[in-house]
Structure 1
Amino acid sequence: MNTIPNIAFQSTKDATDIEFLNLSELFSRIDDAPNHNPRLPHRLNFFALLIVTGGTGSHQVDLKKYPLMQGSVIKIAKGQVHAFLEELTYDGVLVAFTEEFVLKYFSRSSVDFITHLYNYHISEPLVDNCTFNDSFLKQIHQETTSNNTYAQKEIIAKIVELYLLRLERLSHGSQPPRHSKSHYALFIQFKNLVESRELNSRNVKDYAESMSMSAKHLNSIVRQFTLNTAKSFIDQYVILEIKRTIMSRRISLKEVAYQMGFDEVTNFTKFFKKHTGVSPRQYKASL
């Protein structure tokens, strides 16, 4: 059975959390050490921005084809499936950055505004007519080539964070929900319940009861917007909160486990490793 490959963040320049690549350089790297075909669907375990600086073409995200031209930006979230189509007939830059980069350097309020990072299921990946791409890339080039490296990573992060906020403002409200308003409202209610951690539960039934509907109906609504189950949505958010807590607070893993609603540390460890491939302790040590 064919499976969609998962592509990890890789760099040949010792970059550990963010990299800026001209598309010609990207494809040259793939040709030299191919581990997947970029023209076939593949899933990223990091975030990416495809910024088109010239020419025309198309790109596929979650099985949908998007036309590209100068000024187009494709936002690809961690976990999304995408593919380059045909021979490259456009120029551009791919900005690749990890979740750890977002959690470490972006403010929480910015992350809440930048929809595509963790709520890509309710926003379109394509933004057209972006007039500030050139200034963004110029700023990045100036900073990455500067001989003064004091606070360089922090400055780069803020440039990227500001760019993403401006990109979000450009696209905000331009594309209405793709499904019925009533189902969209219910999905947002579910999303807000999960993110508020008011129920402190990973059980779909608890959320369904709180929303006065069956678990089956809630699942069908969530699938419309995420192409996944309500359980998967809950688990992914819990993993995100665990990572945020480990990274931002100096408390023991045992305290993290209890804060996140786990009665036993062993269950917390199993849950985290199941979804990330590493234990909480290994994740903490890697930061």
Structure 2
Amino acid sequence: MNNIPNISFDSSEKTTDIEFLRISELFERVEENPNHDPLKPHRITFFALLIVTEGEGMHQVDLENYLLKKGSVLKIAKGQVHAFQENLSYDGYLVVFTEDFVLKFFSKSTIDFISHLYNYHISDPMVEGSNFNESFLALIAQELNYENTYAQRNIIAKMLELYLLKLERVSHLAISTKRNTEQYPLFFQFKNLVEERYMDTRNVKDYAEYMSVSAKQLNAVVQNFTLNTAKHFIDEYVVLEIKRAILSTNNSLKEIAYELGFDQYNPTS
């Protein structure tokens, strides 16, 4: 059913987990190899930062339109659906990197802070007012052009890690010290399970059984991070997937509902 293409990490530089490229370069690649249309909604299987350095325009993330201008940073998480506008009126850079890169090079404490990458359901992807974008891009460019490549990937990773932490501080999305960050693994496991199995079940007890915890414990974990119940989290994700499907297919609402697991609809009737 899902007509939204999944876009995997693909670097022209043959790197396997991180790349920096100008937005204009992205569209040049598409012209050379038009297998993917960035103007149409597509789901990414990696993380991306869209850093605008000049001009202004719109960018869509999960059906929401965001006005971008010089200094804007849009954080797009693994699993989110986004699309560029036609007649692009801004330029800047895309920083794309995989989850493996994050887990390999970032500290656990940093991962606890960079909430949007793993918890985009409850955070705003847009960051405005950062005054360190240009210095970050300049440092990255300098490192990439450095002839001595010893430990280069580690150095770039630490630059990116620091940049993401500073973005979190600007956007006031740092995790409250009152939250139990020891529960992060359980929350991430639940989030990932919902994304994988929402068409099979929307029952909190089922997810609790998958995770070998009680439904009461699962609710407590989810409320710790979202201030809502596990059932609310599941329902909100299903609604988001329905909206994504409506955007990407000509199927009727009944057909979409059936294909998303609402089996009360009979497609032969």
**What TM-score comes out, normalization by structure 2 length?**
0.71
- How many residues are aligned here? 212
Look up the SS of the partner of 2:170 in the other structure: helix
Determine the C-alpha separation between the residues in 1 that align with 2:145 and 2:185.
Answer: 44
**2:36 match:** 36
User: Deviation string for 1:31-87 (max 9, x for gaps)?
Assistant: 111122111110000000000001010100111000000000000011111110121
1:43-82 correspondence to structure 2 within 5 Å: 43-82=43-82
**1:203 match:** 210
Q: Residue 167 in 1 paired to residue 167 in 2?
A: yes
**1:83 match:** 83
Contact 2:112 2:184 in 1 (8 A): no
User: Deviation string for 1:198-246 (max 9, x for gaps)?
Assistant: xx96537944233679xxx9553113654579xxxxxxxxxxxxxxxxx
After superposition, the Cα gap between the structure-2 partners of 1:28 and 1:40, relative to the gap in structure 1 and judged at 3 Å, is same
The AA in structure 2 aligned to 1:194 is: L
**1:194 match:** 186
The AA in structure 2 aligned to 1:221 is: H
Q: Residue 223 in 1 paired to residue 234 in 2?
A: yes
User: Deviation string for 1:128-155 (max 9, x for gaps)?
Assistant: 1221000000000000000111111100
Q: How large is the RMSD of aligned CA atoms in angstroms?
A: 3.1
Determine the C-alpha separation between the residues in 2 that align with 1:72 and 1:196.
Answer: 28
**What TM-score comes out, normalization by structure 1 length?**
0.67
Look up the SS of the partner of 2:36 in the other structure: coil
Determine the C-alpha separation between the residues in 1 that align with 2:137 and 2:219.
Answer: 49
**1:120 match:** 120
Shift of 1:6: 0.2
Contact 2:118 2:188 in 1 (8 A): no
After superposition, the Cα gap between the structure-2 partners of 1:193 and 1:10, relative to the gap in structure 1 and judged at 3 Å, is closer
1:91-110 correspondence to structure 2 within 5 Å: 91-110=91-110
Contact 1:73 1:127 in 2 (8 A): yes
Determine the C-alpha separation between the residues in 1 that align with 2:74 and 2:235.
Answer: 22
Shift of 1:172: 1.2
Determine the C-alpha separation between the residues in 1 that align with 2:231 and 2:85.
Answer: 31
The AA in structure 1 aligned to 2:217 is: S
Q: Which runs of 5 or more residues in structure 1 are unaligned?
A: 175-184, 230-287
Look up the SS of the partner of 1:203 in the other structure: helix
Structure possessing the higher relative contact order (Cα contacts under 8 Å, 6 or more residues apart): 2
